Chains A and B, each alone.
Chain A
Amino acid sequence: GENVEQHPSTLSVQEGDSAVIKCTYSDSASNYFPWYKQELGKGPQLIIDIRSNVGEKKDQRIAVTLNKTAKHFSLHITETQPEDSAVYFCAASGEAAGNKLTFGGGTRVLVKP
């Protein structure tokens, strides 16, 4: 089955700096890669996703890149703000796995004012 590794597990950045989280996946058939943000006491919330026919996608201060050959994808947050502090999860899915998401272990991001 699919295995998703996520790094780093914790990330501390100064407000205004950029944050980068990296994930690798094992199943070459995976074709959908979402990112979720989880704030304390809440369920994960989808913030951006990318499909395998696209190499990069941006939405305001967040962007995701995908390298299918290397089987890795990354989340970039620019101009970080204190409200970006949360746990971020990457995930991967494909039709062979019934489209159920396999999640990485999470990255706790702390933005210091």
Chain B
Amino acid sequence: GAGVSQSPSNKVTEKGKDVELRCDPISGHTALYWYRQRLGQGLEFLIYFQGNSAPDKSGLPSDRFSAERTGESVSTLTIQRTQQEDSAVYLCASSPTRRQYTFGSGTRLTVV
């Protein structure tokens, strides 16, 4: 597609359940990033994939968070045993050059 696609757009889950968020980057973009945006706040870096290099996981807030990327395509962000503080918009971005990110519209996660 023409842009970064994220699914689902909205997700409501019960506390303690696992969730998977999906990101389809722009074709040919080697870099892929996940950010978290809490209500009314800035973007918080989570994880970064660049080609076949080991991912930069330095932003993951706990071991309940993990992410995978298949080659230079789809990425999934998994949150295990969700907590209410995980409620946020999760944004994915891709880039051909590690600059000039293109963001998706995000997945709004609500943990009840």
B48 and A100 contacting across the interface, CB-CB below 8 Å: yes
Q: Which residues of A contact B93 (CB under 8 A)?
A: 43
- Which residues from 77 to 102 on chain B have a C-beta closer than 8 Å to any C-beta of chain A? 91, 93, 98-102
- Which residues from 20 to 40 on chain A have a C-beta closer than 8 Å to any C-beta of chain B? 32, 34, 36
User: Which of B12-20, B39-47, B61-69 contacts its partner?
Assistant: B39-47
**CB nearest to B3 among chain A residues:** A43
Determine which of A36, A49, A102, A104 lies in contact with B99 in the assembled complex, contact meaning CB atoms within 8 Å.
A49
Interface size, chain B (Cβ < 8 Å): 23
Interface string of B30-45 (1 = CB under 8 A from A): 0101010000011111
For residue A57, give the distance in angstroms from its CB to the closest CB of chain B.
14
Interface size, chain A (Cβ < 8 Å): 23
A104 and B48 contacting across the interface, CB-CB below 8 Å: no
Determine which of B4, B33, B101, B106 lies in contact with A46 in the assembled complex, contact meaning CB atoms within 8 Å.
B101
A89 and B103 contacting across the interface, CB-CB below 8 Å: no
Cα distance A93–B42 in the bound complex, in angstroms: 15
B105 and A41 contacting across the interface, CB-CB below 8 Å: yes
Q: Which residues of A contact B56 (CB under 8 A)?
A: 98, 100
Q: Is B104 an interface residue (CB 8 A)?
A: yes
A43 and B99 contacting across the interface, CB-CB below 8 Å: no
- Which residues from 98 to 113 on chain A have a C-beta closer than 8 Å to any C-beta of chain B? 98-106
5 cross-chain pairs, A with B, having the tightest CB-CB distances, nearest first: A43-B103, A99-B98, A103-B43, A105-B42, A103-B42
List 6 other contacts, CB 8 Å, given A34-B100, A44-B103: A46-B100, A49-B99, A49-B100, A100-B33, A100-B56, A103-B43
